[in-house]
Structure 1
Amino acid sequence: MKMLVLGIGNTLLTDEGIGIHVLQALEPELADWPDVTLLDGGTLSFTLAGPIEDTDALIVVDAAHIKTQPGGWALLQGEEMDAFLMSNRTSSVHEVGLTDLRAIAMLAGHWPERRAMLAIQPGVIDWGEHPTPAVAAAIPPVCTAIRKLIQEWRHVA
């Protein structure tokens, strides 16, 4: 099973770049996992439709307004992820783009059956290359959740 971990964000905007910071934290361990691809999705682009359509399982990591304290996070899987994307179009700077990528993949019949989003509540979105301490503290548990999810999906395949 081919799995894609897609980190989204702008690393020049403090907590907004958390998806990329999580990806960077995962890279040393997951780089050697042949069935897992780590992809820096930046601030999203339609060019990401191809990698999403080519994968069997998708994990998206992004800053999103999930109505919790800064650094709080949620794991949204399958239809729960879809519902979040469709009902909270303003919850992330990128969700219009992610929602559009979902629509493209669905039209092509390639929206992965196994999919999840790790949504991390930002505290500050302003110029700065590092997340705030509260949001940075979410990186280790989010990485653990991603590794656990990958292992679960491997056993189901």
Structure 2
Amino acid sequence: MIQNETLILGIGNTLLSDEGAGIHALNILQSRYSNIPELNFLDGGTLSFTLAVWIEDCTNLIVLDSTELKSPAGTVKTFINQDMDHFLGNAKRSAHEVGLLDLMDIARITDNLPEKRALIGIQPDKIGWGMQPTNVVQHALENAVNEAAKLITLWNNININQPQSLITE
């Protein structure tokens, strides 16, 4: 394992419009920063216990997900370390987070919880059949990507340049 290795885990179902926000944000990040050796990008889909080994093997974890934040659609919130643990354990917030909580518990029980961890949640507008997020969530993806880039810079002690947005107005 590379020291300060960061796993960027996108979660969601891209067949259900805003439900796939985490995967769409992951894809933007990967298109911009795939040349950074400290980063691993993983499409976690709708989660599976097979992801536990990935989580246990990283120093830092950034999870991107469509999350019920009880906020206006398109809101992006970042929960870091204990705030992430508290958020996941407090109440069921999305269809995946029960699984994410289980994965984090496996890492905790095996004493392999990532040293630094964050959940970047994006408040969905609509979840229904569709391959693309709604406009408000599409625009929020840039905020989620910027939040992840800040954490990558801080945690990996590297300077990544912020390239131009891939989202066209």
TM-score by length of 2: 0.90
Unaligned runs of 5+ in 1: none
Q: Give, in angstroms, the shift of residue 18 of structure 1.
A: 0.3
Letter paired with 1:3: T
Structure 1: 4+ residue segments shifted above 6 A = none
Residue 138 of structure 1, aligned match among 134, 137, 140? 140
Residue 117 of structure 2, aligned match among 115, 118, 121? 115
TM-score by length of 1: 0.96
Count of matched residue pairs: 155
Aligned counterparts, 1:3-152, within 5 A: 3-89=6-92, 91-152=93-154
Unaligned runs of 5+ in 2: 159-169
C-alpha separation in 1, matches of 2:136 and 2:87: 23
Letter paired with 1:47: T
Note the aligned Cα RMSD (angstroms). 1.0
Q: Give, in angstroms, the shift of residue 140 of structure 1.
A: 1.1
For 1:37-77, what per-residue CA distance to the aligned partner results, in whole angstroms no more than 9, with x for missing partners?
01000000000000000000000000111011111010100
- Aligned-pair identity (%): 45
